[in-house]
């Protein structure tokens, strides 16, 4: 059986097993700013409206002073007058040990998220007229295992059986690709309220395959809001000498005004920020008025937009495709409505973003489609995901030997032969690692086990086969076997178990920094090569035509000086001047 057929069979068996326990399934996009729930109805993925009639639910939880708990729009409505007891953007704290204290009780991010999921579950049950127990929940592609596990735990607290966790960009691709039969490669650019992901996927004959993914777990719409908040706070200090840092209600009003201004500037070139009675000074109440232009907004948020470029280029490179091979660009998440974001994506890809999907709803719709696949109501579609980081073992000299590289399609089984370092060893310690660094100690340790009973032999003679297996759910199994004696030992690991957000971000960011520096170095080298060839041409021309020496010699000296400085800008400028002069002779 070919490998592709094996993958299909494994996924089919997984779905068949899951169907035994599933009745009514829903798909949930548990978002930073807003959440959304959908289901399959008559073969179509359909949004389930909230209790207020809206198609999305604000991911906000509030505790009223009378003990009442508010979720969604009701919580958002009272945020100003109850800001200290209102919790927003909890998704950014998923997987951490952060606690939020309300009165005499401390709540984990899982518990707060469970309150949001409970509301979505209730809304779905009201519309569907039946109890809902099973759900597919989406997470950012770069969520760590601890964050994914925290999401599963939140589902269990809410009374949901989380049958599958899938990546948000992948869900968006499902929503886009369900009825499309033509082969194509798509880029999903997902900029939500708190996270950024980019994935390159290929759709071919009902198979949606993730080729590569990248992202930043600390970049989203909240960061754009924060820049506007800084702008307003600074204006308050300049115009009114007013400091609102100790006024929770004023800070919440500024936050809401900042978000509203950001949204307004996605449609118009300027917006008026009005905050009557935002505070008091020696003259009395302060009424704040300011005009924020789109140009100014772009200026103060430019660094945030630029931060998405590195992951985009990394994903394209890892996918092994050219930018020109991307057929469609899907923009997901409310923050992709920012014009500067669209300009950046168009500048990179040369393609206008596809407008046929709703950036706020497509992730939930895709999650519902995946629930239909698992339930057997959606057929002829197959989703193939990837592992985000490389897996391997430690070898002599603190070396990390990769067995499975990052962005490898799962499920996957791969083996590699190793040997002993010391003579007549009877055992070896297999140290399993995850990461991208060449030095073993700089990667994340996932576990160790001891393979005993190796046939005693000189160093380098025993053959030890180490096999990594990752199943469709991301569970990692590592087995070591002495091919001579048949002795074996294995360990089962949860991919990315106990990886903190900082650890996985550091691993990826380090790799991205290296690639960017390498690209800069290569670009400088190419510019220097061109300059040196031009200098050779100029010197040859001066020997051939002595009258050219007076004009060309100082320009040659300028190029040579710029080459010694290693300054790319001066190299380019000096090279251009010499090239223009050479054309005259």
Residues belonging to the active site: 29, 91, 168, 190
Longest pairwise C-alpha distance within the chain: 94
- Let me know: does 152 contact 164? Beta carbons within 8 Å: no
- Let me know: does 48 contact 65? Beta carbons within 8 Å: no
- Let me know: does 575 contact 531? Beta carbons within 8 Å: yes
Q: φ, ψ for residue 543 (rounded to 5)?
A: -70, -35
Other Cβ atoms closer than 10 A to 360: 21
Residue 478 CA to residue 490 CA, distance in Å, equals 5
Look up residue 484 and give its DSSP letter: T
- Using alpha carbons, list the distances in angstroms from residue 460 to 401, 424, 478, 486, 510: 16, 10, 22, 17, 34
3-state class (DSSP) for residue 60: coil
3-state class (DSSP) for residue 396: coil
- Render 312-338 in DSSP notation, one character per residue: HHHHHHHHT--GGG--EEEEESGGGGS
Token pair belonging to 164? 């599958």
Within 486-541, strands assigned E span 488-494
Token pair belonging to 257? 């005004």
Distance of CA 329 to the CA centre of its chain: 16
Other Cβ atoms closer than 10 A to 130: 10
CA end-to-end span of the chain: 68
């Amino acid at each position: 059986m070919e490998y592709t057929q094996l993958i299909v069979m494994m996924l089919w068996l997984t779905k068949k097993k899951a169907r035994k326990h599933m009745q009514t399934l829903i798909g949930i996009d548990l978002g930073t700013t807003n959440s959304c729930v959908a289901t399959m109805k008559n073969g179509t993925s359909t949004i389930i409206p909230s209790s207020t009639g809206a198609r999305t639910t604000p991911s906000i939880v509030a505790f009223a002073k009378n003990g009442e708990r508010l979720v969604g729009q009701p919580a958002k409505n009272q945020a100003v007058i109850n800001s200290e007891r209102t919790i927003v953007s909890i998704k950014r704290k998923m997987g951490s040990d952060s606690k939020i204290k309300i009165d005499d009780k401390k709540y984990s991010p899982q518990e707060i998220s469970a309150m949001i999921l409970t509301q979505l579950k209730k809304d779905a049950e009201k519309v569907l007229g039946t109890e809902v127990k099973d759900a597919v929940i989406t997470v950012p592609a770069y969520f760590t295992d601890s964050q994914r596990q925290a999401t599963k735990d939140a589902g269990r607290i809410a009374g949901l059986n989380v049958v599958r966790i899938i990546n948000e960009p992948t869900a968006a691709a499902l929503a886009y690709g369900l009825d499309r039969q033509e082969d194509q490669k798509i880029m999903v650019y997902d900029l939500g309220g708190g996270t950024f992901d980019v994935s390159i996927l290929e759709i071919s004959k009902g198979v949606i395959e993730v080729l590569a993914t990248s992202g930043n777990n600390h970049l989203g719409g909240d960061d754009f809001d924060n820049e506007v908040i800084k702008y307003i706070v600074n204006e308050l200090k300049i115009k009114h000498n007013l400091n609102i840092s100790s006024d929770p209600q004023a800070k919440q009003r500024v936050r809401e005004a900042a978000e509203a201004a950001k949204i307004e500037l996605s449609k118009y070139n300027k917006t008026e920020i009005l905050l009557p009675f935002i505070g008091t000074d020696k003259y009395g109440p302060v009424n704040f008025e300011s005009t924020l232009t789109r140009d100014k907004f772009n200026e103060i948020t430019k660094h945030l937009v630029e931060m998405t470029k590195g992951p985009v280029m990394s994903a394209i490179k890892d996918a092994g495709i050219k930018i020109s091979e991307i057929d469609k660009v899907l923009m997901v998440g409310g923050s992709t409505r920012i014009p500067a974001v669209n300009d950046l994506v168009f500048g990179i890809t040369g393609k206008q973003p596809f407008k046929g999907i709703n950036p706020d709803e497509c992730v939930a719709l895709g999650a519902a489609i995946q629930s239909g696949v698992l339930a057997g109501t959606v057929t002829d579609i197959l989703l193939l995901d990837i592992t985000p980081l490389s897996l391997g073992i430690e070898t002599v000299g603190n070396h990390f030997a990769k067995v499975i590289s990052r962005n490898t399609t799962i499920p996957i089984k791969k083996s590699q032969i190793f040997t002993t370092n010391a003579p007549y060893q009877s055992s070896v310690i297999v140290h399993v690692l995850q990461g991208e660094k060449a030095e073993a100690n700089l990667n994340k340790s996932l576990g160790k086990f001891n393979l005993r009973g190796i046939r005693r032999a000189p160093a380098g003679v025993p053959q030890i086969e180490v096999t990594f297996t990752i199943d469709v759910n991301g569970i990692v199994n590592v087995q070591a076997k002495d091919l001579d004696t048949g002795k074996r030992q294995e360990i089962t690991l949860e991919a990315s178990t106990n990886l903190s957000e900082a650890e996985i971000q550091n691993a990826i960011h380090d790799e991205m920094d290296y690639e960017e520096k390498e690209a800069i170095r290569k670009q400088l080298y190419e510019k220097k090569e061109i300059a040196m060839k031009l200098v050779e041409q100029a010197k040859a021309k001066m020997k051939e035509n002595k009258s050219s020496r007076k004009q060309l010699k100082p320009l040659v000296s300028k190029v040579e000086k710029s080459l010694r400085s290693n300054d790319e800008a001066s190299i380019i400028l000096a090279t251009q001047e010499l090239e223009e002069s050479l054309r005259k002779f």
